[in-house]
Structure 1
Amino acid sequence: MKKHLLTSLLVLLFFSANAQQINPLIVKEDFENQKKWVDSIYSNLSLQEKVGQLFMVDVFSSDPIAKTDKIKKLIEEQYIGGVIFSKGGPKRQAKLNNEFQAASKIPLMVAMDAEWGLAMRLDSTFAYPWNMTLGAIEDNKIVEKVGKRIGEHSKRLGVHINFAPVVDINTNPKNPIIGNRSFGEDKENVTQKSLAFMKGMQSAGIIANAKHFPGHGDTDTDSHKTLPTIHFSKERIDSVELYPYKRLIHEGLSSVMVAHLNVPSLETQLDFPSSLSKTIVTDMLKGELGFNGLIFTDALNMKGAANFKEPGEIDLAAFLAGNDVLLISEDIPKAHQLLVNAFREGVITEERLAHSVKKILYAKYKVGLHTYQPVSTRYLIEELNTVWDDALYEEAMENALTVLKNDRAILPIKDLQKKKIAYINFGDDSGTAFLNQLRAYANVDWVKESSLDDYVKELKNYNYVIIGFHRSNENPWKSYEFTEKELVWLYEIARTNTVILDVFTRPYALLDLKTATNFEGIIMSYQNSDVAQELSAQLIFGARGANGKLPVSLGEDFPVNTHYETKPLRRLQYGTPESVGVNSYKLKKIDSLANIGLWGNMYPGAQILVARKGKVIYNKTFGNHTQEKKISVKPDDIYDVASLTKILATLPMVMELVDRGELTLDTKLSEMLPEYKNSNKANITLQEILTHTARLKAWIPFYIHTLDSVTKQPSKEYYKKNPNETFNLKVAEGLYMRRDYKDSIFEIIRKSDLRDRSGYKYSDLPYYILKKYLENYYGKGLDELVQTNLYESLGANYTTYNPLSKFSKAKIVPTEDDASFRMQKIHGYVHDQGAAMIGGVGGHAGIFSNSNDIAKIMQMYLWKGFYGGKRYFNPETLDVFNTCLYCDKGIRRGIGFDKPQLGESGPTCGCVSMTSFGHSGFTGTFTWADPEQEVVYVFLSNRTYPSADNRKLIGSNLRSTIQEVIYEAIEYSTKSTTETAFK
């Protein structure tokens, strides 16, 4: 008991009899061993070795061997205690780290300025956001996670101290050295963000460092080039600049860096850096604030300290002021000797030297240097750039996005069918990721003009103009201002158009705006990384909400904490698999399977998409349009989706009418179409035709009757090469059918015999009938109906019948080299013969689309009739149609939808829920949605090219194997949100 009390007392009183902070360098649960190690090491050090522990030298891992050899010499001859790494690469740094450690008698303390992470993202941006960006986030748990992950990165690279967080309260927009490195200007927000960051980092076993004491936030000069002066009173500094330090120290802050600043209200000597001031370091930081952790100087080779002329004098002054670690000295050998001499002359006492050296040794023990192990370079890059980092970066950037202005609730953009939208790129950096993501939601034109007059003229045709201001994201010191020309153009474009301005750089850029009156919407996106651009585009269209708050004030229009929350409209998001509980590495197996399909000649190319919980997490293309490999498949290429048309076009129109009470599942064909009253199909119900239990024939080869019986070519009785009044229904290039034959097709169906056997038989014929009913009911073609009632409002801009009227052939994937009917390559015309013979617009076939658009429609089904702020039908209606009515009879079909197999074989992997649904298409297409796992899967290919006889895809079960991989990649499940959404 006495031993325990003694240990506790030592912990409380260690280093300072007047301690206000339990020493943060002590490992409480291992204090006795820590103390023994420190005392043992210290007692065996020579004076030169003790003094050497005080120095930390800077090194670039990209330095030539000659410079790194100088560092080794300092280790061997001046016994330096640590190094601070800067520019270079992780592997080079790890190699040098190991070499330096091997040369040192006492393990070196390794530091970095890794405020925003160590690794680089694929788009050459840093692994994590700038502090200013984090300052906009309301949820400090996210900031803590960022701090922890940066700490884990640091530890993996053999770094023990990260000189972060920057706790400077940035009150000067012109500050050249802090700026984006500050969390903002609100002292409470800065404190909370700094605390969260610190806790996260220190929980990873890394020593955090609050800088730059006593506060570097109000200077417009660069401390690397001169000695900036802070003119605040002591009272002001105490109440504002020191505010975060007090809280962090109370919560266990491990170290502080003292700034290279002149602060007259705190230090009476003229032009005297605060890092050399005993009043600031010892009296204030250690005395008044009771800080017991490590105290670092800022770089001692910075300019402006006119009081010191000889090398080493600054180092001695800094040590005497109360600092523990002398960072980046101008001349370490001379400084080292000067401190040794000062000790021998009694200027430095043994007590003073032991105080700092033992603190350094305590810190080394705390970070594990008593059991030092070299840094392994195996998988180093991979472990610094993980999918979890991508997911956390996405989470942080999403929560930072801030809406500053939202006149008439312009954000998010609604009613896509009514909008014509332009995008303009201002700034000196790319906005490609932004534009591509905007185009995932709507038709957005990139307007590029060389003069303001041309812009004004061109933009008259648009409802909305989105202006992206893109500045370099390379580092937080890059230029961020608008040019004078850009400002003039902004004002005029905003005066004459409805404008959304999206700023992808630091907030201070908006200070150049003389007025924001004419801007309807303003978004602060903070950084120009691809992820920031993509997330901001998603915010604009309501896939994500805006939750950030402005961390600094931007004039009268935008005071600090300005924000407008926007609520999601329920549109597809795009992001990382891990953010929705899916393992990226497992999901990548899809790549291999898709390539097996290519190598196995199952198809020339494909698009594959996976979404979970309303977020697209996999969207890739493979191969080419044809085996000739002249055009590679792109995300916006469109495929003939064949029978997917049934659930992408006809079924939602029928569901809408059932929802409105215009139809019921018991409605008979004779009630829907008067000509069926006296037919053998008069009493067939809507439910029967949609479940394929109406005894209709599977299909009727209408085209065979129109071929010449001898040549087997299209008969001249029914086709012409050139159109005229009679022959004007185009079925392929240079082939026009008699227009009256379309009516004959519907009559053939009406008069066709019913199958003798009852039960299930898949048939296309119900959808010919439903097409005719829908067109009669609405007085419009089915193509026009689905465009105006569904696709336009969904933003399904790549989904259409007869695509050649909207897209070039280069964007349309061909389906077959038809040798049995049209005798040509089918490219841009519907593959299905019957659909071609009724004008390309069939209820069963005719839709062309891409994977992204199909995912929107399937997600609308998962959200039970709701998408993009619009309800298409009620949830109960979806439940009815997604019912397996005859499962007890061995019939798996729902009402219009296909359902999972009831036995061993069927359309799916067998690993989906029984509430899931979807459909497949003859051309090699497939889509499936699972409400329980909230998964949407889309597979598009043209397996029929060049010949529909190619059944390798069907025989391989590749599509269901890919589906199985998706489910294997799901790492966790949460309760479905679709049951309660929008009720």
Structure 2
Amino acid sequence: MRQIAFLLLFLFSINKVHSQYKETIAQTKWVDSVYNSLNFEEKVGQLFMVAAYSNKKEDHAQDLEKLITKYKIGGLIFFQGGPVRQAQLTNRFQSKSKTPMLIGNDAEWGFSMRLDSTVKYPWNMTLGAIQDNKLIEKIGAQMAKQSKRLGVHFTFGPVVDINTNPNNPIIGNRSFGEVKENVTQKALAYMKGLQDNGIFATAKHFPGHGDTETDSHHTLPIVKFERDRLNEVELYPYKELIKNGLASIMVAHLNVPSLEARVGYPTSLSYSVVTDILKNELKFEGLIFTDALNMKGASNFKQPGDIDLEAFLAGNDVLLFAENVPKAVEKFKEAFDLKLFTEERLAYSVKKILNYKYIAGLNQYKPIDLNHLYEDMNAIEYEALNYQLYENAITVLKNEDKLIPIKKLEKEKIAYVKLGDGPNDVFLNKIKDYAEVIEINSFNLDTALLDLECFTKVIIGYHKPDGAWRKNELTFKEINWIDKISKEKETILAFFTKPYSLLKIPNFDHTETVIQAYQNTDIAQTVTAEIIFGAKESKGKLPVTIKDNFHVNQGIETHKMDRLGFTVPENVGMNSKKLAKIDSIANYAIKQKAAPGMQILVARKGQIVYRKSFGYQKYDSIQKVKDSDIYDVASLTKVLATLPMVMKQYDRKKITFDTHLCQMLPVFENSNKADVTVLDMLTHQARFQAWIPFYKATLDSLKRPDSLYYRYAYSEDFPVKVANNLYLKKDYNDKIMKLIADSPLLDKKQYKYSDFSFIILKEYLEHTTNKKLDNLVQDNFYKYLGASTMTYNPLQKFELTRIAPTEEDNYFRYQTIQGYVHDMAAAMQGGVSGHAGLFSSSIDVAKMMQMYLQKGHYGEHEFFSEKTFNDFNKCYYCKDGNRRGVGFDKPQLGAEGPTCGCVSMTSFGHTGFTGTMAWADPDKEIVYVFLSNRTYPNAEPNKLSKLNIREKIQEIIYESIIE
């Protein structure tokens, strides 16, 4: 018979059998055996799938147990609760059932639609914007994996309603869109993902709920189309899915006069709809579910019991969400006795249900393993796919003059205005990661417009809670704000809501850029920020029409720039679980008081995959470290400030590696260092002393700042701020340079790390350009990178609370060093030196390191040539035992060194005295940043180094690489 043929085809498609013939015999035998073991009431009981909740009290569970044991109900549809609680109840209920039950979940966008603590996939309308349907198939496959893990056999999706009515109150975002071909292709991919992996898909809501204006949960919606239109549009996806082996269909509660002659008669109870059309005309032989029978669209029409019988007589197989099973069984018995249906009709549906149970493996039922269930339901692969989905869905609808991606950050002053009552922290923080963005918090529009006068661009984010998808239209006030701001400023509108929210806006004539992000999830906010700044390109196409403003399938593809983006490790060939081991090392370091807090960042292939902050700014456990906090990066200054400026000079052919020091600075013309070359200085084999404690010569007999050199207030003669309320005599820097010039050279030319090289190079850069180093590096690098936290003397720009302290100084400045450079020599140079003085957050350090990794490019700006980078990253004296590149540190050549010993020899970076490290590896495309204030409250002992904390973390990073 055709039903068996269908089941065989489906069975084969989900790879359940090796031999169709053997399994068919076994299947038939099992089905017949079970059916024959049931009495009439128990056979009727198989027709019911009853609602179950894992968030209700014990009396609910006991009521269900009575239905299971007495009436032998055939299945449960689970609603609200949690995965572990649901699994526990499933095991409990299945153990009580004579025949194992079919378990369903109404999980259209994943189990999070009903359960807490589970992955939330995008809504169907978000998915409708995606052009790569293989991604939709992946969702189905992942949902199938989760369903199997949770003991679920049916996912009540895909929704194949074609949402041609923007005012539809119940479908809306549950639809893939308004175009039948797109809806069908998405539904086919969704179905294939489920059914190829052993889970039954259920297309709904037959015959089509997309063009209704009332909610069938509350009343009976009417569909007024003639049959030709229904055949052409609403029934189109069902025909295609049926041809491709659809397992089941759910029939909606609709009033469709062209299909059912009786006035106001629900389609779910209509023989002409269920049997004549679905079974006979469309030749569907799979399982047919009613929509929930407690919904007012059906329950207003018939009483419990009567409605169940009517649905069965119409041709449905499974009676979903029955309200009164005992009453219904009684009604069935009465109808059977009156010969309103036959044993053959009952057997048809019951045996069909039993066949599905066999296919689901319930003939060999095994309880759900509760071990690691939460972890399995939230595997990182699910979040990895979520990133891919939003990256492919978010749609740029308008982009006049190619306003995004924002390219020349150095020319921009960007403001952000929030509209709506949804969370926006992720979006705001992410756009701030790319540039200095100022949030405007004015409550009054006129005030806001005044505040915005000095800005070149305004980003407006419209945020509504994701749970408010039915009610997220803009208010008149919000529309007015958008209109007025857009008329005054270049504006980027980002809507973190359903597309229909845009309907309220009359036109977008004055808005340069409009982005449809569809949802207000953290990932949607992250990806939207990436698109605005070019870390990702936009790919989505609008799945519905927004009046005359935006048409279906409209979507502008923006291009990707070489800026850092964000994703999960699995999307760049890394293992999250292994990478997560960093947490335990960081927490161990804090527990051992190796540092009070730290920031750690890992990027691969241009994507930040790990970025966390640990501990507190001090050991008092008061102020937690945040990602936006700023650290004294100490010697990282060498490669983040001085070296890039030297490389630019080299690139411009202002100097060569053979340029002598006497050619660079007059103070060295007649010194013992006159013939020292740039290459010797940058490879630390110029025979320089390691350092000189310059500050000691400025202390009095009590080892306090001598009044000969210091004052406690600023004056023209004492202008150099060394710390809070402490100013050094002017021109003392000349003495520092003279002391370096007069210092003896080491006897032998060999590797000896020295701060002198970079102090000298800073002096050279300022001498040759007539600009201070802090201004030089800001004007030539940081403003192009959007490195807004990377700065010297951070108190000139940031609040003290954002800056981690580095020491309780009891030997020189006698105060808490916070916001002032820790290094004494750099402090005596006004906080700006070539070897120290720079402050930054981890992400801005990463931008510089990524720029190096990209050999002089970042954000489509060329800072220097690839040749220049290659020249500086070369180890010229490795054969002599000197591991250094030109300015960069390189991996150790022997047992000890700055790295884990597991990095490639092409890698490069630097470490800093305050407990910092920045390292990049071109071979593995890795950037690793570690910032801490391990010197607080004092620099010794250096537990961070003794415990090899930075190196152990780096080792984990490399262990986590899987491709």
Q: TM-score range by the shorter chain?
A: over 0.9
- Residue 488 of structure 1 deviates from its aligned partner by 1.9
Mapped pair 1:212 → 2:194: no
The correspondence for 2:831, drawn from 840, 845, 859, is 840
Displacement, 1:473? 1.0
Q: CA deviation at 1:362?
A: 0.8
- The equivalent of 1:95 in structure 2 is 88
Task: Give the structure 2 partner of residue 116 of structure 1.
Answer: 109
Counterparts of 1:131-280 in structure 2, within 5 Å, are: 131-280=124-273
Q: Is the 8 A contact 2:884 2:890 kept in 1?
A: yes
Q: Deviations along 1:696-738, whole A, 9 cap, x unmatched? A: 2222232233233x33333332222233222221212222222
For 1:929, what is the secondary structure of its paired residue? strand
1:5 alignment partner in structure 2? none
Distance in 2 (alpha carbons) for counterparts of 1:253 and 1:823: 77
Secondary structure at the residue paired with 2:29? Answer: helix
Task: Say if 2:568 is the partner of 1:576.
Answer: yes
Q: Residues 678, 86 of structure 1: CA spacing in aligned structure 2 closer, same or farther, 3 A cutoff? A: same
Change (3 A) 1:445 1:339: same
Instruction: Tell me how far 1:957 sits from its aligned partner.
Output: 1.4
Whole-Å Cα distance in 1 between the matches of residues 13 and 709 of structure 2? 95
Pairing of 1:788-803 with structure 2 (within 5 A): 788-803=779-794
The offset of 1:24, in angstroms, is 9.2
Q: Deviations over 1:586-605 (max 9, x none)?
A: 22222221222222222222
> Alpha-carbon deviation of 1:306?
9.4
Q: 1:545 aligned to 532, 537, 550, which one?
A: 537
Sort the Cα spacing of 1:629 and 1:353 in 2 relative to 1 into closer, same or farther, 3 A.
closer
Task: Find the counterpart in structure 2 of residue 493 from structure 1.
Answer: 485
Deviations 1:28-56 (A, max 9, x none): 74322222211221222222222221111
Contact map agreement 1:125 1:473 (CA 8 A) in 2 = no
Number of the residue aligned with 2:427: 434
Asked if 1 retains the 8 angstrom alpha-carbon contact of 2:6 and 2:286, the reply is: no
Q: 1:863 maps to which residue?
A: 854
Q: What aligned pairs does 1:447-486 form with structure 2 within 5 A after superposition?
A: 447-474=440-467, 476-477=469-470, 479-486=471-478
- Counterpart in 1 of 2:378? 385
The question of whether the paired residues in 2 share the 8 Å contact of 1:939 and 1:959 is answered with yes
Residues 1:670 and 1:510: Cα distance change in structure 2 (over 3 Å): same
The Cα shift of 1:304 comes to: 4.6
**Change beyond 3 A, Cα 1:206–1:588:** same
User: Is the contact made by 1:892 and 1:900 (CA closer than 8 Å) also made in structure 2?
Assistant: yes
- The one-letter code sitting in structure 1 at the alignment partner of 2:725 is G
Partner of 1:341: 334
Deviates more, 1:170-179 or 1:689-698: 689-698
Q: Which residue of 1 aligns with 2:748?
A: 757
> Which residue is 2:763 aligned to?
772
Matching residue's letter, 2:273: I
Cα separation, 2, equivalents of 1:308 and 1:908: 74
Which of 378-387 and 206-215 deviates more?
378-387
Q: Which runs of 5+ in 1 are unaligned?
A: 1-8, 974-983
Q: Provide the residue aligned with 2:924 in structure 1.
A: 933
The change in CA–CA distance for 1:517 and 1:189 in structure 2 (over 3 A counts) is same
Quick one: which of 804, 810, 813 aligns to 1:822?
813
Give the Cα separation in 2 of the matches to 1:104 and 1:602.
59
Which moved further from structure 2: 311-320 or 782-791?
311-320
Aligned counterparts of 1:53 and 1:435: Cα–Cα separation in 2: 53
Provide the secondary structure at the position in 1 that maps to 2:798.
Answer: coil
Q: Distance in 2 between matches of 1:384 and 1:320?
A: 39
Amino acid at match of 2:730: R
Task: Specify which of 615, 635, 643 is matched with residue 623 of structure 1.
Answer: 615
TM-fit CA distance, 1:161: 0.7
Cα distance in 1 for partners of 2:880, 2:190 equals 61
1:948 paired with 2:939, answer: yes
Contact kept, 8 Å, 1:11 with 1:23, in 2: the verdict is no
Tell me how far apart the structure 1 counterparts of residues 5 and 805 of structure 2 sit (CA, whole Å). 80
Distance 2:425 2:950 in 1: 32
Distance 2:619 2:295 in 1: 64
Deviation, 1:346, is 3.0
Match of 1:892 in 2: 883
Q: Residue 433 of structure 2: SS of its match in structure 1?
A: coil
Q: Where does residue 655 of structure 2 map in the other structure? A: 663
- Which amino acid is 1:754 matched to? L
CA distance in 1: counterparts of 2:277 and 2:648, whole angstroms: 73
Aligned to 1:831: 822
Q: CA deviation at 1:120?
A: 8.0
CA distance in 1, matches of 2:426, 2:337: 64
743-752 or 932-941: bigger deviation:
743-752
Distance in structure 1 (CA, Å) of the matches to 2:116 and 2:858? 31
Aligned-partner residue type, residue 572 of structure 2: V
> Residue type of the partner of 1:857?
M
| 79-88 vs 312-321, which moves further | 312-321
One-letter amino acid of the structure 1 residue matched with residue 399 of structure 2: N
Residue from 32, 38, 42 that aligns with 2:31: 38
Q: Is the contact made by 1:125 and 1:529 (CA closer than 8 Å) also made in structure 2?
A: no
Secondary structure, counterpart of 2:429 in structure 1 = helix
Range with bigger deviation, 162-171 or 435-444? 435-444
Q: Which residue identity is paired with 2:442?
A: E
8 Å contact kept, 1:12–1:23: no
SS at match of 2:637: helix
1:355 aligns with 2:343: no
Tell me, yes or no, if structure 1 residue 635 matches structure 2 residue 627: yes
Give a deviation string over 1:618-639, Cα, whole Å, max 9, x none: 2222222223334322222211
Pick aligned residue for 1:784 from 775, 779, 799: 775
1:593 matched to 2:585? The reply is yes
Asked if the contact 2:543/2:552 (under 8 Å) is kept, the reply is yes
* Secondary structure, aligned partner of 2:635: helix
- Deviation at residue 130 of structure 1 after TM alignment: 0.8
SS at structure 1 position matched to 2:792: coil
Structure 1 segment 488-527 matched on structure 2, within 5 A: 488-527=480-519
Moved more, 313-322 or 599-608: 313-322
Aligned equivalents of 2:217, 2:74: Cα separation in 1: 24
Q: Decide whether aligned partners of structure 1 residues 333 and 819 sit closer, same or farther in structure 2, where only a CA change above 3 A counts.
A: closer
Distance 2:807 2:954 in 1: 26
1:747 aligns with 738
Shift of 1:360: 0.5
* 932, 941, 951: which one aligns with 1:960: 951
How far apart in 2 are the matches of 1:22 and 1:883? 59
Q: State the secondary structure of the residue aligned to 2:598.
A: strand
Match of 1:905 among 896, 899, 902: 896
* Separation in 2, partners of 1:673, 1:485: 63
1:102-135 Cα distance to aligned partner (Å, 9 max, x none)? 2221111111101111148999896211111111
- Quote the offset at 1:905 in angstroms: 0.9
Question: Which runs of no fewer than 5 residues in structure 2 stay unpaired?
Answer: none
Partner-residue secondary structure (3-state), 1:83:
strand
Secondary structure of 2:474 counterpart: coil
Distance 2:16 2:260 in 1: 32
Measured after TM superposition, the shift of residue 674 of structure 1 is 4.6
Mapped pair 1:54 → 2:11: no
Give 1:6's aligned residue. Answer: none
What RMSD, in angstroms, separates the aligned Cα atoms of the two structures? 2.3
The one-letter amino acid paired with 2:659 is T
What corresponds to 1:850 in structure 2? 841
CA separation of 1:576 and 1:501: change in aligned 2, threshold 3 A: same
**Contact map agreement 2:597 2:615 (CA 8 A) in 1:** yes
Q: Mean alpha-carbon deviation: is it higher for 961-970 or for 810-819?
A: 810-819
**Counterpart secondary structure, 2:836:** coil
Change (3 A) 1:425 1:219: same
Measured in 1, the distance between the counterparts of 2:745 and 2:238 equals 85
Percent identical residues: 55
Q: For residues 218 and 886 of structure 1, what CA distance do their matches in structure 2 show?
A: 75
Which range moves more in the overlay, 668-677 or 850-859?
A: 668-677
- 1:500-519 deviation digits (Å, cap 9, x = unpaired): 11111110000111011111
Match of 1:979 in 2: none
Match of 1:407 in 2: 400
